[in-house]
Amino acid sequence: MARKLQAGWCCVTSFFWGVRSLGVLCLALAAPISAVGRDVDDHFGLPQVKFINEQVSAGWSDAKLKPSEPASDQEWCRRVHLDIIGRVPTIKELDDYVADSSPVKRANLVGRLLSDEYLDEYARNWADVWTTVLVGRSLDNDNVNRSGMRQWLRRSFSKNIPYDRFLTDLVTATGVNKAGEKGFNGATNFLTGKLEDNGIQATAKTAQVFLGLQVQCTQCHNHPFNKGKQNQFWEFNAFFRQTRALRQFEGTRDVQAIELVDEDWAGEGGNASQAELYYELRNGQMKVAYPVFIDGTTVDPSGYLPAKMEDGTEYGVNRRMALAQLMVDSPLMPKAAVNRVWSHFFGYGFTRPIDDLGEHNAPSHPELLEGLGERFREQSFDTKELIRWITLSHAYSLSSRIGKGNASDDPAVGEKPKFSHFYLRQMRPEELYQSLLTATEADQAEEKGEKAARKKDEWLSQFIIAFGTDEGDEATTFNGSIPQVLMMFNGDLVKTATETGKGGFLDRVATSDMNNAQRIDTLYAAALARKPTRKEIKLANQMMVARKGDAISALQDIWWAVLNSNEFIINH
């Protein structure tokens, strides 16, 4: 029955999308796209952008903050490339943008970055982001096939599948987790490593990632300071009990692949039509739980999967499908989604941490969070549209330079973010890796797809520290500490980027028909998206003298300094 219900729901939704996108189209046509003026400058005819601008600037008025000046063209261009496609712009992309004289040039660039022209890079970037969210960065987990996870994510993002379907596909996935195997479905990797111990991790992570609920503590007891109750944890957990991870072994020990399946479940009491589980209270008393969503909605307690009796009567339920539907309908779902995407672009979300939307954790901009979530739902959960609204907002266009009027807006010291200037943040390691390839024009020669991704994984692994808990908690030393600086100073990645071999980036710059000043300009544009200052030119020239006319060695020294700078590694 549930499966049928699911299909029916899909139909209704897609009909709904049709109507909705038509509405948006009308609206877009009605907006004065050609008009040049304050109005278009301000929100590009997009009501969602207007809404964001109004909400954020109301916060500035309340806190008596004067927002920073707009970022320079070069700064904004660099930032939007890093955030949408995960790397710095090429010199050509930078020049094109600066030369564009259109009043809607920002909208044009965002449009391009979200278009088919950049599809591979867009999908690669967001697959990286979501691989980390869903399965972490650690490489040594036999129960996850990272490559399978990433392939599925890349495909989802290149098709821009709506976020409700994205969630549903991940939460309900069945199939084999490894590419090339029969029945491959990479989405299964979200759950393949989280089903041990009755699916405790599946429960905690699903609630955390998609609903912004921190339930891991309520596994054992009622939460001491939020409303989480122990029964809610186990009722949520009950949705995962029909699911099994079947390991296929290679030889005797190594896991070859894992198949995720749903099976009829008899429950711990042995009665499949009322399949229950038991959990233990702190005082040792046992309690029973059936699938109940966090808002109290109950689901058919049957442990049978949907099937038909001989007389045609339908019975049973697919618990994970029922759960996905309840999650999609939940008001928490779009809030959790927009909070995550917002924090990707601004460095801070509306709550800290971003995946805790509990009532004890008041957001910085409650109406904006709520309203943006609603608009995301109205837009049929189109992630690219959400990105467009955020990147075209006034707040996203501001300089990172702090003025007298907004020095107090500093979330790094614990204040709630007001987004009155762009907050500095270090590139993610994946962004640094990709940016070095781009800046040295090595991305052309680089293998594409999964092979390249695995190489990047290997490089990343040097920064990952596992805490050795069942929950797979991990941290990274790619956090501005000494190991990171040592990697930039002396590591292979920067060594390769600063190579002087024939045909490499520095060799091409050195042997081009540019003069020395232009060569230095090229290095600055490629890495920092700006021109060198007079003082920097003077030092660069001294370097040329010191290398006694060995131009390529001097360029190598300058390039090393540029790549090691705060200005390069910090998204500003």
Partner 1 sequence: MSASSRFFDGMSRRHFMSHVAGAAALAAPATAFTNSILANAADLKKRHKAAILLWMGGGPSTMDIWDLKPGAATGGPFKPISTSADGIQICEHMPLMAQQMHHMSLVRSMSTREADHMRGRYYMHTGYVPNPNVEHPSYGAVIAHELADQVPDLEIPPFVSVGSGSVGPGFLGMSWAPFVVDSNGNVRNLDMGIDPTRLSQRLEMLSAIEDKFIGEKRGASSDDHAKVLSKTVKLMTSDQMGAFKVMQEPKDVQDRYGNTGFGRGCLMARRLVEQGVPFVEVDLGGWDNHADIFKTLSDNKLPELDKAMAALVSDLAERGLLDDTAIIWMGEFSRTPNINGNGGRDHWARSWSVAVGGAGFKRGVVVGETSSDGKEVVTEPYSAQDLMASVLRSLDISLETTFTAKNGRPMKIANAGKVIKELFA
8 A C-beta contact, residue 320 and residue 172: yes
Phi/psi for 262 (5° steps) reads -105, 135
CB closer to partner 1, 31 vs 552: 552
Phi/psi for 180 (5° steps) reads 90, -20
284 near partner 1 (CB under 8 A): yes
CB closer to partner 1, 80 vs 305: 80
- How far apart (Å, rounded) are the C-alpha atoms in residues 279 and 284? 9
426 strand-pairing partners: 570
**Rounded-to-10 torsion of CA 63, 41, 402, 97:** 160
Residues 533-572 that bind partner 1 (CB under 8 A): 533, 535-536, 539-540, 542-543, 546, 557-558, 560-562, 564-567, 569-570, 572
400 near partner 1 (CB under 8 A): yes
Residue in 467, 502, 548, 549 binding partner 1, rule: CB under 8 A: 467
Q: State the minimum distance, in angstroms, from the CB of residue 217 to partner 1.
A: 5
Residue in 132, 462, 496, 516 binding partner 1, rule: CB under 8 A: 462
Structure token pair of residue 419:
């987004």
CB closer to partner 1, 443 vs 521: 521
Residues 403-432 that bind partner 1 (CB under 8 A): 410, 412-416, 423-426
Residue in 487, 497, 506, 544 binding partner 1, rule: CB under 8 A: 487
- How far apart (Å, rounded) are the C-alpha atoms in residues 81 and 121? 10
Site string for partner 1, 214-243 (x = CB under 8 A): --xx--xx--x-------------------
Residue in 479, 511, 512, 518 binding partner 1, rule: CB under 8 A: 479
CB closer to partner 1, 162 vs 193: 193
Q: State the minimum distance, in angstroms, from the CB of residue 214 to partner 1.
A: 9
Task: State the residue for tokens 């894992």.
Answer: 258
Residue in 252, 313, 469, 515 binding partner 1, rule: CB under 8 A: 469
Closest by CA position to 237, among listed 261, 268, 259, 271: 268
User: Which one of the spans 233-241, 336-344, 482-490, 504-512 is the region binding partner 1 (CB under 8 A)?
Assistant: 482-490
State the DSSP code for 184.
Answer: B
489 near partner 1 (CB under 8 A): yes
CB closer to partner 1, 444 vs 490: 490
Q: State the minimum distance, in angstroms, from the CB of residue 110 to partner 1.
A: 23
8 A C-beta contact, residue 63 and residue 409: yes
249 strand-pairing partners: 255
Task: State the residue for tokens 């007389």.
Answer: 311
Q: State the minimum distance, in angstroms, from the CB of residue 487 to partner 1.
A: 5
Q: State the minimum distance, in angstroms, from the CB of residue 29 to partner 1.
A: 40
Angle between helix 319-329 and 2-30 (nearest 10): 30
Residues 149-208 that bind partner 1 (CB under 8 A): 197
8 A C-beta contact, residue 318 and residue 172: yes
DSSP 375-406: HHHHTTT-HHHHHHHHHTSTGGGB-S---GGG
63 near partner 1 (CB under 8 A): no
CB closer to partner 1, 125 vs 216: 216
365 vs 49, 124, 227, 423, 441, CA distance in Å? 15, 31, 22, 17, 41
Q: State the minimum distance, in angstroms, from the CB of residue 48 to partner 1.
A: 27
Structure token pair of residue 51:
């809404």
8 A C-beta contact, residue 229 and residue 237: no
8 A C-beta contact, residue 440 and residue 505: yes
Size of the site for partner 1 (CB under 8 A): 69
Q: State the minimum distance, in angstroms, from the CB of residue 213 to partner 1.
A: 14
Measured in whole angstroms, the distance separating CA 46 from the mean position of its chain's CA atoms is: 23
Structure token pair of residue 78:
């660099």
Q: State the minimum distance, in angstroms, from the CB of residue 484 to partner 1.
A: 8
37 near partner 1 (CB under 8 A): no
246 strand-pairing partners: 259
CB atoms under 10 Å from CB of 27, counted, come to: 12
Residues 312-371 that bind partner 1 (CB under 8 A): 351-353, 356, 361
Structure token pair of residue 459:
């490089």
461 near partner 1 (CB under 8 A): no
Residues 72-101 that bind partner 1 (CB under 8 A): none
Binding site for partner 1 (CB under 8 A): 197, 216-217, 220-221, 224, 280, 284, 351-353, 356, 361, 400-402, 410, 412-416, 423-426, 462, 465-471, 473, 475, 477, 479-483, 485-487, 489-491, 528, 533, 535-536, 539-540, 542-543, 546, 557-558, 560-562, 564-567, 569-570, 572
